Chain A
Amino acid sequence: MAFKRVPQKFTASVNEVTIGTGDKAIVLGGENVMPLYSFDAPITNRVKIGVEITDSGYDKTVPGIAAFYAGAETIGEIAKRASEMPGGDFVVLTLEGADPNGANKPIDECVAIAKEVADAIDVPLAIQGCKNIEKDAEMFNKLAEALQGKNILLISARTEDYKQIAAGAVMAYGQKISAESAVDINLAKQLNVLISQMGVAADSYVMNVGSAAAGYGFEYVASTLDRVRGAALSQNDAMLQMPIVTPVADDAWAVKESVVSEEDFPEWGPRENRGVQMEVSTAAACLAGGSNAVILRHPASVKTISELIADLT
């Protein structure tokens, strides 16, 4: 008997969340098929890529990254360059210098950096905090106020600070936020329930269900992504239908494979190649699991993943 293909599309779909304004605004989510299954039904909003820079610029120790940004001096110039990276859709500014246990930059300074970045680019902007609960909660509110009208995405709100961030950033200034949980479908859903119970509309937030570099417990990430998407589509679970934005670069460039030098491990080859491989393999795995956007650093990774997305959608 001949094979008869039955399109596997669902009546439920992932929410659509818009980031940015004007022509360059992007829409995340919206699909009603399994990740990248464009053969089952058209995927209108293809998966997006965010290009990451930090408040101190970019990673000068990686030749490919340094070469890409060569000549860009100010944070505005660097951001402009990032916004033009082939394959990228939006810019992600990570304010790691705000960390009280690190450079501890004052919030005013961080807001000024963010404004300079926002003014320099015409693509949507996402801002990652420094992961310190108190600092992020206050800083996100100030950023939301300063960048009102830009429709930025703030990454991320957690169980501990979602109240302040949702109330300040979303309800007062109309920005978007990402709800972050630690690789567990129940925890992801619980945080979404709490945020929605505050009166935040479903099209105002995305989620980060947690991640890990490939090979570093990624099987937990994979099963969480699978189950979250399964619940959203096949069970029509409204509290799990938010688009997923996964910061990949942070994990991928922090593991041993991407950190140790070629002098110490000559048999492993150049460090840069390893970092790109980690970034690409982790990002590809996240997309296969259901991420609607990944955040990357290296131009080669952005190029590779954007080609993968183009080929599959």
Chain B
Amino acid sequence: MAYTIVFKVEGGADVKTQAEQGENLLELARRIGVAIDAPCAGNGTCGKCRVKLISGALEVEKNPHLSQEDFDAQWRLACQSKVHGDAVIWVPMSASAFRNNIKTADLSSPEELARYEAMTEEIFSSGIARGVQETGVGVAVDIGTTTVTAAMLDLATGHVLAKASMGNGQIRFGADVINRIIQQSKPGGVERLRHAVREETLIPIFESLCRGADKKPEDISRIVIAGNTTMEHLFVGADAQTIRLEPYVPEFLELHGKTAGELGLPAKADAPVIFAPNVGSYVGGDISAGVLPAMLWHSGEMALFIDLGTNGELVFGNEDYMLCCACSAGPAFEGGDISCGMRATHGAVDSCTIDPETMEPTLSIIDGDKPMGLCGSGLIAIISELFRCGIINAQGKFVREGKRVRYDQYGGAAYVLAFADESATGSDITLDESDLDNFIRAKAAIFSAIRTMLKSLDMTVDDIDKIIIAGGIGSGIDIGKAISIGMLPRQELTKYSYIGNSSLTGACAMLLSDEAAEKVFEIGRNMTYIELSTHPGYMDEFVAACFVPHTDAHLFD
């Protein structure tokens, strides 16, 4: 028999549905379009899909991510709950934040737009001519593992007519590419993942773009897609298994001749869909497209391009050659694997200072006055402050005591960022030693990748003339603080610049110019890909970097 389940979404409308006994609550929510963030894909390992049972019954499995206290207060993990009668479920903002309020670099702020225009100008003044055969409007899309962002452009004038972004619908199949690839190999997986990104993500984005620009799908006559290698494979339905299996060679690097009709996108049926080329299994079209506005290829200066995300991708070189590699930073920069971590959305702490005497924090919070959790840039700031104030040692272990530093019965310590009465969630927001450990590993992955790549050229960080940071998390990070904890090389701050979502900017340029698209293909073919996982020196560099700021302190003097 069917039961009635009502989802009361914080800050949204109630959603009522019928469900069968034993149906998984998270899957049910997904089916009817209630967004609940679950970076671990419902494995019960991240504890992010918390919902509150207001009335009725659920069959639940106990989970270590939920304390007895919270359980008694009727908090449940959606992925560990099954329908067991009529129920009313409250979905708090923290569980659904990723979908509605995600803060991404998607050209929506005036600064981003100005940055975009300046970069586009630079590309087209470097000898690359504007102009394409198609007329009307075009759409450029950056399919990220976490977020999909898109812009609609007038092909004749180059004006941005509309932009849109959304969480990647595939997120319920796992937060990282490896989980998604595994999901693709399951029966029906190819179609499920395509559906999640096309029907649930791209089509709504296209519709939103058309609404925003007052256009019809038939007006769209050219599409550019830039995504990492896995995202491009999953979208077109190509077998992605070889990406994660030795020798890590993807099914395709370049994909030509696809049309919107063939791929099921709402546009003119014969509109060409151009895919930014992949370079290797873990350096994809988002990077080849992103390198275009980074302008490495147009200068004699040695530049390092870093795209910070779930995977960190690095490109180093100049007009003569380019080297690239990827390292797995893990989800720490985006708030995953961190007990109080969250994406850079409403309520996230994005910066902080700590008083060295009292150890009291002063927090900066995105769109709010009460903190809900910590996003990547907030993490960098807090760890740098904890270290500066001598609250943690170089291994990320707590060495001071006080009201803000709490020790549990096993001797594990945590820093209290916000006590229950100061937080938006009603419970303490703390950062513990295992969080610090996860973060230190993430920053070590980036820094050791930089060193290993440079070492393979017999160069050091002093040979870098400029450092270009891209990616969603980059917007907020305090470079000085990131250097102080050994995440980025110690170089003058003037060498650093931030270019936002360069992948989308590159895709837009490819949309407006056949020559730019050709240039991106050339960049993709000319980049040398280094596989770090098989590089003999990488592990050594990594262990040396798992220290704040670094085992070799001279690098940060």
Contact = CB atoms under 8 A, between A and B. Distances in A.
Contacts, number: 25
Interface string A156-167: 000100010000
Interface string B537-557: 000100110110001010000
A145 interface: no
A135 to B, nearest CB: 14
> Which of A159, A184, A186, A187 is the most central at the interface, judged by chain B CB atoms within 10 Å of its CB?
A186
Given A163-B399, A184-B543, A197-B394, 14 more contacts: A186-B540, A186-B547, A187-B543, A189-B551, A190-B394, A190-B395, A190-B547, A190-B551, A193-B547, A193-B551, A193-B553, A194-B393, A194-B394, A197-B393
Contacts of B547: 186, 190, 193
Given A186-B551, A193-B553, A159 B543 contact: no
Nearest to A184: B543
Q: Which interface residue of A163, A187, A190, A197 has the most chain B CB atoms within 10 A?
A: A190
B437 to A, nearest CB: 12
Interface in A171-197: 184-187, 189-190, 193-194, 197
B412 to A, nearest CB: 12
Nearest to B547: A190
The 6 A-B residue pairs whose C-beta atoms are closest, nearest first, are A186-B543, A186-B544, A186-B551, A190-B547, A189-B551, A190-B551
A82 B546 CA distance: 43
Contacts of A186: 540, 543-544, 546-547, 551
In which size bucket is the chain A interface?
A: 10 to 19
Contacts of A190: 394-395, 547, 551
Nearest to B393: A194
A159 B395 contact: yes
A188 to B, nearest CB: 9
A197 B393 CA distance: 9
Nearest to A231: B552
Contacts of B543: 184, 186-187
24 contacts: A159-B395, A163-B399, A184-B543, A185-B540, A186-B540, A186-B544, A186-B546, A186-B547, A186-B551, A187-B543, A189-B551, A190-B394, A190-B395, A190-B547, A190-B551, A193-B394, A193-B547, A193-B551, A193-B553, A194-B393, A194-B394, A194-B395, A197-B393, A197-B394
A186 B399 CA distance: 21
Contacts of A193: 394, 547, 551, 553
A159 B437 CA distance: 14
A187 B540 CA distance: 10
Contacts of A163: 399
Nearest to B545: A186
Interface in B397-456: 399
B398 to A, nearest CB: 11
A70 to B, nearest CB: 46
A189 B544 CA distance: 9
A164 B165 CA distance: 52
A47 B293 CA distance: 61
A159 B395 CA distance: 9
A186 B545 CA distance: 9
A186 B394 CA distance: 13
A190 B552 CA distance: 9
Nearest to A227: B540
A101 B393 CA distance: 31
B447 to A, nearest CB: 13
